[in-house]
Structure 1
Amino acid sequence: MNLDQLYAGIYDWWHDQHPAVQDAMLDDFALNFSLNSAQIEKGHTTKEVAQQIFDHNAVKNYTGALKPLVQVFNQRRAWVRARQYLQDQRPVDKSLVMDLHQTLCAATYSERLFADGERPGTYRLGDYIIPDSNEVGAAADRVPGLVNDLCEQVRDALQDPTAKRVLTAASFMHASYETIHPFADGNGISGRLLMNYVLLAGGNPPCTVFATDRKAYFEALQAFDEKGDLKPFRSFVQAETIKTWRATVTEAY
């Protein structure tokens, strides 16, 4: 079977699950998604520490660096907020983007960024090199309008959701968001959460971007940034979704 057929199978399986079962699976998904998302950003928190935080909102006997720990607490808070916003059917707009970014990046900006006037949850004032590239994103004064336009396009796609349309909208949301690079820091980690927000809002299964696939992930994003070609990244999201849920589906049958 090709990617489209495999993805369709995962989508159909997801829709066959009772909402209570989906909720339980999302609880398990959150930890692996967040841990991989942190590792993509080269965070070094262990799974054991992250498990404590997600299960108990606390950690014992931790002696490592503070920033990776704060980032995991932030991811837990952001995931809880996103789940609530999904229940409330909160639309994809600039206030959602800013809210989730502020939650994810609270107390993680460097002293240099603070000295430059940058703040979590506030569009960047200056230009900063995008990690793993030589790009700086859109001009700072264009960011608000570009984010508004992007959110409007995604909302339009969610008005009449199908599996393919939602997959495309979520992929477009993340790829475009990284090209715009709206914030001084935390664009990748917030972009991955926003992509999953769109997937779940449209009824599609969520997707872990695995840290082991970091190179392929950035290459697919680069194809969109340089050529405007969404297909490589859309295919990447399909493949990661299949990888996310394949073992669970196999166990179910």
Structure 2
Amino acid sequence: MFETIDALKAQLDALRPLPKNSVQSLHEAMMLEWTYHSNAIEGNTLTLKETKVVLEGITVGGKSIREHFEAINHREAIEWVESVIARDEPFSERLIKSIHQLLLKNIDNTNAGCYRQENVMIAGAQHIPPEHLHLQSLMTELVDGYENHYENQDYHPVERAARLHVDFVGIHPFVDGNGRTARLLMNFDLMSSGYPVIIRAENRLAYYEALDKAHTSLCYQDFIAMVVEAEEDAFKRYLSIVS
């Protein structure tokens, strides 16, 4: 499953150091598209072009203040995750809560960065998240198990990150913003290994179905395959630009 993306990554790595302007344009494009697609999956109605102008500081008429903040906050969260990777900080509950706090800043300051204090359901899904009373122990287990389970299982970096995403969303620790937080956490792991990826909004249904299947049957294969396909598309695009 991973042979193609590993070969594409090797092609890209062989071209390093990449031209400075190419790196900058790729980074700007990734940040814009990642912000647009991650928010669109959750129902944000800003188009790609509208997201671009919002990130440039321009207000879009007919769009809610919340949608503007979702775009601005998501870019800030990406930048913070990149700074964490640059400092080589480990996966932690602080990382998780900080990402969530940035995402919900000026949107829901009461719940930003705080685990939920109520039980929730995921609309349209068979999986029912655990009761809120168990959240702290489950999140501690997720973080403690990251090194002991995910890394020691000799998973490919893409499979490891995909499984982390699935398991985090299964716990659903926040009232809102779990999906965006999960995708940022997945890319925290992926970017640390040189495998950034964007789940595109047009794949929203398949994305939700693969997650629900993993939660209800413990079959991660469909979700991992989706991430691998998205990774392949990303590498091909990067190579088409820099080569």
TM superposition shift of 1:15: 3.0
Are positions 1:179 and 2:177 aligned together? no
Distance 1:200 1:160 in 2: 19
Distance 1:154 1:204 in 2: 18
TM superposition shift of 1:52: 2.6
Runs of 4+ in 1 over 6 A off after TM superposition: 157-162
Corresponding position of 2:37: 36
Corresponding position of 2:138: 146
Corresponding position of 1:97: 96
Corresponding position of 2:27: 26
TM superposition shift of 1:160: 7.8
> For 1:56-205, what aligned pairs fall within 5 Å after superposition?
56=56, 58-60=57-59, 62-109=61-108, 119-156=111-148, 164-201=155-192, 203-205=193-195
Q: Residue by residue, what CA displacement relative to the aligned partner does 1:1-48 show, whole Å, maximum 9, x if unpaired?
A: xx4222112322343333775853333211101100111011111222
Q: 1:60 to 1:222 in 2, by over 3 A?
A: closer
Corresponding residue SS for 2:80: helix
- Report if aligned partners of 1:154, 1:169 keep a CA contact under 8 Å in 2: no
The answer for unaligned runs of 5 or more in structure 2 is: none
Q: Residue by residue, what CA displacement relative to the aligned partner does 1:185-216 show, whole Å, maximum 9, x if unpaired?
A: 11001101110001112x13211000011111
Distance 2:79 2:235 in 1: 21
TM superposition shift of 1:53: 3.7
Q: Residue by residue, what CA displacement relative to the aligned partner does 1:144-197 show, whole Å, maximum 9, x if unpaired?
A: 2212222233334786898x5321221111000111001011100110111000
Corresponding residue SS for 2:156: helix
Are positions 1:12 and 2:4 aligned together? no
Q: TM-score, length-normalised on structure 2?
A: 0.88
- Report if aligned partners of 2:59, 2:68 keep a CA contact under 8 Å in 1: no
Corresponding residue SS for 1:184: coil
What letter corresponds to residue 169 of structure 2 in structure 1? E
